[in-house]
């Protein structure tokens, strides 16, 4: 697998181009991905990012890397709203639901865990929370102050962007120029404590009505939004690690500020490769809480989104996501979902058919080249859509063999089967769907279809069609094939 490792190319947002992936320590990877803020249930757009990084994680593991995957849970922190005020979104949700902040976080953490299970996502190795790392955050803030890149005002601490810019490039990730930003930024709030508009809070003095407050050298307060990621990534992956990921919308200011904090405290950019997953769109616009055009991952499973006529399984949704590259926008539409549902079923059927096909002395197509195309696709910045296309290429060959129009040797068959299973199940994370009802129904259906087969043998079409129509009404579709009858 070493050879395949060496060919991996990743698009690095930091440079705006693809580059060969070389880990800091051979064979090992440290990866940090910004997780959800648990003040509400993650919506489908949030899930797309996590599913994409799950794909990346899975492929890195498959390549044989020893990956340490850290994804945080934000359960504290003050962010800046449009009015320039620091706001505690979790606290606000707690008040609205008349619960304690920790109840809110726990409630949604459980839901998030359930979603990860349903969408077949591998759990990260560590899932740290901000509230459990207050001390680490304080220590980094102290370091930044000691290095001269932060100042305290009235119980709060702010990052000194102007001072930082004398030594480092603020905007290295997002490409923003601070002097340009200044012109377009709304006028500073009169009572703002910041010295400069681009400064951001590292620590924020407590408000009288805050539910959660922590002690610090600067008095009681809350950590700023960005500092938790710096603290936790440093603690578990070190001052510099391989991959830092997150949604495109976190690029600025969140990730830019993380870089500033790391440089300001340790003197280096925390990650060598920055990866950003693109947004999920609904009707051409980013799915977003503030736009209100979002639906929940569970709604698509039970058909209650209000946008689509029917429900879709988690595997179908996952497959749908895999058919678009992680750096592209993806439009959620009914037609596209239906297409994915059929495609997913076709792929899974193909894999099943592979088990039954007859082998011969020769193979009529290049199996090794096909398998190598799977790797080639994923090695090119995790191009899952190409991988899927190549898997369909394999399905086509399988069906041709099944119809007697192509051939495969026993050795090639077992190689192809192994490769397809690895890429479909382990890399793409698609599971074969089976449900308990089907298992219970199977003996009954065998009996019914047996009776129908007898009627058909006797050319008793009335009875055989009566059975078929009756089953159709019950939602069971009978499929007659030359080698027997199946149903679903």
Partner RNA sequence: GGUCUCAUGGCCGAGCGGUUAGGCACCGGUCUGCAAAACCGUCUACAGCAGUUCGAAUCUGCUUGAGACCUCCA
First to last CA, the chain: 40
- The Cα 302–Cα 96 span in angstroms is 27
Contacts (CB under 7 A) with RNA, residues 83-112 = 89
CA neighbor of 253 nearest in space, from 176, 326, 194: 176
Based on the shown chain and the rule CB under 7 A, indicate whether residue 186 belongs to the binding site for RNA.
Answer: yes
Based on the shown chain and the rule CB under 7 A, indicate whether residue 330 belongs to the binding site for RNA.
Answer: yes
Based on the shown chain and the rule CB under 7 A, indicate whether residue 162 belongs to the binding site for RNA.
Answer: no
Is the peptide bond between 253 and the residue preceding it cis, with omega within 30 degrees of 0?
yes
- The Cα 131–Cα 140 span in angstroms is 15
Based on the shown chain and the rule CB under 7 A, indicate whether residue 268 belongs to the binding site for RNA.
Answer: no
Q: Of 95-103, 129-137, 162-170, 332-340, which part binds RNA (CB under 7 A)?
A: 332-340
CA of residue 376 relative to chain centroid, distance: 22
**Closer residue to RNA in complex, CB, 194/272:** 194
User: Residue 205 in 3-state DSSP?
Assistant: strand
Contacts (CB under 7 A) with RNA, residues 406-465 = 456, 461, 464-465
Which listed residue (19, 41, 127, 249) binds RNA by CB under 7 A?
249
Contacts (CB under 7 A) with RNA, residues 201-230 = 225
Contacts (CB under 7 A) with RNA, residues 14-43 = 16, 18, 34-37, 42-43
**Which CA distances in Å does 187 have to 79, 82, 138?**
18, 11, 30
Element counts in the chain: helices (H) and strands (E): 17, 17
Contacts (CB under 7 A) with RNA, residues 310-329 = 320, 323-325, 328-329
Based on the shown chain and the rule CB under 7 A, indicate whether residue 366 belongs to the binding site for RNA.
Answer: no
Based on the shown chain and the rule CB under 7 A, indicate whether residue 155 belongs to the binding site for RNA.
Answer: no
Measured from the Cβ of residue 363, the count of other Cβ atoms closer than 10 Å reads: 21
Based on the shown chain and the rule CB under 7 A, indicate whether residue 8 belongs to the binding site for RNA.
Answer: no
**Closer residue to RNA in complex, CB, 331/421:** 331
Which listed residue (14, 29, 55, 79) binds RNA by CB under 7 A?
79
Strand partners, 20: 9
- The Cα 46–Cα 34 span in angstroms is 11
- The Cα 487–Cα 478 span in angstroms is 5
Based on the shown chain and the rule CB under 7 A, indicate whether residue 196 belongs to the binding site for RNA.
Answer: no
Q: How near is the Cβ of 66 to RNA at its closest, in Å?
A: 25
Strand 28-33: give its sheet, edge to edge.
Answer: 66-71, 28-33, 241-247, 271-277
CA of residue 290 relative to chain centroid, distance: 21
- The Cα 109–Cα 322 span in angstroms is 25
Which listed residue (113, 135, 169, 185) binds RNA by CB under 7 A?
185
Q: How many residues bind RNA (CB under 7 A)?
A: 95
Q: How near is the Cβ of 402 to RNA at its closest, in Å?
A: 7
**Closer residue to RNA in complex, CB, 48/272:** 48
**Closer residue to RNA in complex, CB, 17/209:** 17
List CB contacts of 199: < 8 A, sequence separation 6 or more: 158, 159, 160, 161, 162
Based on the shown chain and the rule CB under 7 A, indicate whether residue 351 belongs to the binding site for RNA.
Answer: no
Based on the shown chain and the rule CB under 7 A, indicate whether residue 473 belongs to the binding site for RNA.
Answer: no
Based on the shown chain and the rule CB under 7 A, indicate whether residue 263 belongs to the binding site for RNA.
Answer: no
Which listed residue (67, 287, 354, 427) binds RNA by CB under 7 A?
287
Which listed residue (350, 354, 423, 429) binds RNA by CB under 7 A?
350
Based on the shown chain and the rule CB under 7 A, indicate whether residue 368 belongs to the binding site for RNA.
Answer: no
**Closer residue to RNA in complex, CB, 217/446:** 446
> Counting beta carbons within 10 angstroms of the beta carbon of residue 110, is it exposed (0 to 12), middle (13 to 18) or buried (19 or more)?
exposed
Strand partners, 331: 281
**Closer residue to RNA in complex, CB, 160/228:** 228
Contacts (CB under 7 A) with RNA, residues 375-404 = 380, 383, 385-386, 388-389, 392-393, 395-396, 399-400, 402-403
The single residue listed with the structure tokens 């980094």 is 140
């Amino acid at each position: 697998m070493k050879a395949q490792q060496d060919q991996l190319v990743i698009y690095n947002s930091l440079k705006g181009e693809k580059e060969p992936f070389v880990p800091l320590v051979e064979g090992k990877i440290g990866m940090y991905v910004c997780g959800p803020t648990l003040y509400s249930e993650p919506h489908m757009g949030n899930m797309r990012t996590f599913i994409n990084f799950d794909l990346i994680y899975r492929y890195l593991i498959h390549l044989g890397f020893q990956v340490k995957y850290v994804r945080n849970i934000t359960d504290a922190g003050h962010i800046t709203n449009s009015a320039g005020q620091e706001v505690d979104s979790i606290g606000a949700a707690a008040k609205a639901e008349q619960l304690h902040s920790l109840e809110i976080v726990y409630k949604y953490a459980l839901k998030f865990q359930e979603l990860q299970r349903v969408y077949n996502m591998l759990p990260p190795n560590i899932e740290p929370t901000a509230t459990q790392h207050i001390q680490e955050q304080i220590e980094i803030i102290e370091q930044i102050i000691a290095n001269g890149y932060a100042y305290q005002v009235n119980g709060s601490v702010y990052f000194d962007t102007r001072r930082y810019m004398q030594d480092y490039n603020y905007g290295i990730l997002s490409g923003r120029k601070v002097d340009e930003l200044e012109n377009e930024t709304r006028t500073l709030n009169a009572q703002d404590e910041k010295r400069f508009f681009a400064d951001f809070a590292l620590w924020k003095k407590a408000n009288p009505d805050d539910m959660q407050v922590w002690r610090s050298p600067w008095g009681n307060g809350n950590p700023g939004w960005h500092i938790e990621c710096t603290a936790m990534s440093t603690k578990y992956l070190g001052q510099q690690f391989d991959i830092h990921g997150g949604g495109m919308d976190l690029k600025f200011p969140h990730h830019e500020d993380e870089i500033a904090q790391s440089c300001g405290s340790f003197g280096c950019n925390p990650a060598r490769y920055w990866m950003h997953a693109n947004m999920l769109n609904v009707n051409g616009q980013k799915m977003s809480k503030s736009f209100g055009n979002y639906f929940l991952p569970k709604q698509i499973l039970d058909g209650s989104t209000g946008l689509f006529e029917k429900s879709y399984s988690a595997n179908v949704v996952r497959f749908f996501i895999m058919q678009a590259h992680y750096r592209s926008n993806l439009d959620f539409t009914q037609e596209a979902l239906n297409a994915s549902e059929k495609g997913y079923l076709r792929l899974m059927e193909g894999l099943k058919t592979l088990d039954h096909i007859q082998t011969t002395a020769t193979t009529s197509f290049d199996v090794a080249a096909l398998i190598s195309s799977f790797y080639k696709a994923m090695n090119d910045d995790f191009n899952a859509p190409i991988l899927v296309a190549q898997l369909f290429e394999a399905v086509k060959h399988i069906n041709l063999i099944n119809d007697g129009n192509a051939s495969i040797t026993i050795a090639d068959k077992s190689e192809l089967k192994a490769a397809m299973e690895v890429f479909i199940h382990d890399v793409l994370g698609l599971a074969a769907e089976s449900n308990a009802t089907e298992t219970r129904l199977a003996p009954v259906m065998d009996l019914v279809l047996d009776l129908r087969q007898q009627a058909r043998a006797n050319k008793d079409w009335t009875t055989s069609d009566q059975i078929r129509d009756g089953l159709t009404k019950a939602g069971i579709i009978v499929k007659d094939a030359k080698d027997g009858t199946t149903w679903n």
